[in-house]
Amino acid sequence: MRDADAIAASCRASVPGFAGQTRDPSSVLGQLAERVSAHAPFDRYGEGELVERLERRVAELLGKEAALFFPTGTMAQQIALRIWADRAHVRTVAFHPRCHLEHHEEKGYEELHGLRGLLVGALGRLLTREDLEAIAEPVAVLLLELPQRELGGRLPEWDELVSQTEWARGRDVALHLDGARLWLCPPYYGRGLREIAALFDTVYVSLYKDLGAPGGCLLAGSAHVIDEARVWRTRHGGRVFSVWPYVLAAERGLDEVLPRMDEYLARARELAAGLAALDDLDVVPDPPQTPFMHLYLRRDGERLREAALDIAEERGVWLGGHFADTPMPAIHMVELSIGASTLELPVAEIVALFGELLERSA
């Protein structure tokens, strides 16, 4: 069996932007070394000026009083929901059926914190205000995800989003934002991160999704909530002895990647228009709302994987390696994030390579 990671690392270019940021470890380490020369990297159990500087910066970007570094979003989000449930004396938390906590975390919110997840809305579409109006029981906190990864990076329209948060405010329901990819949202809304985050009591943002850090995340909110989250981080075993590589890489992402989101969205839409013209390939959503989309290919998954590896070896371009199953056996999906590496290739070349992928896997 071929080593997909090794093949990806050997490619001259990567169409998925996220893979392009991290496929070459030596390059990542070199970029960190440049920052170490200017900033002392020492921290101890996630404390010290280096980490605190990042926490202050992200809190300021989001318009919150404080922020706290966590090693994983799974930990950060479960803790946020636990805090709001304890304060409300209600164990029910509400979120969309395709929520990350429901699909990828082995029911951690339930097994570790005794919370009950109330699934709101339908699997194949975004949550609506009407869905919320149908809730007939007490809820401690409403979790909303922007953009919704499992739906191709879709976003609700601004007025709809505000309406949903007004529903929660009117019922004393706390609001938590799964903003793993919040960095992608401002271009579509024409609003800054601070204005979007202002709708929520707590906000989680990833440092590796789209910003390109090796890992880590932050939880932002009021000072008293973050103080409580700090205690829960210790209880979860989340005080990693040293996190400076994550922090330095995250600062680089904030400096160099975040300012380019408008450019990435423009490229996403240009690329989507070309890909949508191919037979047996659908782009979701079309056009993309963020620099992120799902591509649905009417092909066998294993044949797609083998064809993608062949193209990577022969052409030196990585198209992606995971073609996920869908409810339709003959259709498989690949996520496509748009980043700096995507811009290294002309749109016409990328479209031609996906056409070749379809032809080889037919």
HEC profile of 247-262? HHHHHHHHHHHHHHHH
pLDDT at 46: 82
The answer to whether the CB of 331 falls within 8 A of the CB of 296 is yes
- Identity of the amino acid at 17: G
Lowest mean pLDDT among 30-44, 51-65, 75-89, 143-157: 30-44
pLDDT at 37: 65
Q: How many CB atoms lie within 10 A of CB 302?
A: 11
pLDDT at 5: 87
Q: For the chain, how are helix, strand and coil distributed in percent, rounded to 5?
A: 50, 15, 35
Tell me the sheet residues that pair with 236.
none
Residue 129 confidence (pLDDT) above 50: yes
Tell me the sheet residues that pair with 294.
284, 335
Residue 59 confidence (pLDDT) above 80: yes
> Average pLDDT in the 146-157 region?
97
Mean per-residue pLDDT over the chain, rounded: 94
pLDDT band at 63 (very low <50, low <70, confident <90, very high): very high
Each domain of the chain, given as residue ranges in start order, spans 4-24+259-360, 43-241
> Average pLDDT in the 93-113 region?
95
Span 267-295, pLDDT tens digits: 999 999 999 999 999 999 999 999 999 99
pLDDT at 24: 63
pLDDT at 234: 97
Residue 132 confidence (pLDDT) above 60: yes
Q: What is the pTM of this model?
A: 0.95
Domain 43-241, CATH class in plain words: alpha beta
pLDDT band at 39 (very low <50, low <70, confident <90, very high): low
> Average pLDDT in the 252-270 region?
96
pLDDT band at 23 (very low <50, low <70, confident <90, very high): low
- Whole-number CA gyration radius for the chain: 21
pLDDT at 38: 61
How far apart are the C-alpha atoms of 323 and 293, rounded to whole Å?
A: 14
Assigned architecture for domain 4-24+259-360? Alpha-Beta Complex (3.90)
pLDDT at 140: 98
Go through 195-219 and write b for each residue having 16 or more CB atoms within 10 A of its CB, e for each that does not.
ebbebbbbbbbbbbbbbbbbbbbbb
Tell me the sheet residues that pair with 226.
none
How far apart are the C-alpha atoms of 14 and 350, rounded to whole Å?
A: 10
Residue 345 confidence (pLDDT) above 90: yes
Tell me the sheet residues that pair with 116.
92
Instruction: Say which DSSP state 233 is in.
Output: H
pLDDT band at 29 (very low <50, low <70, confident <90, very high): confident
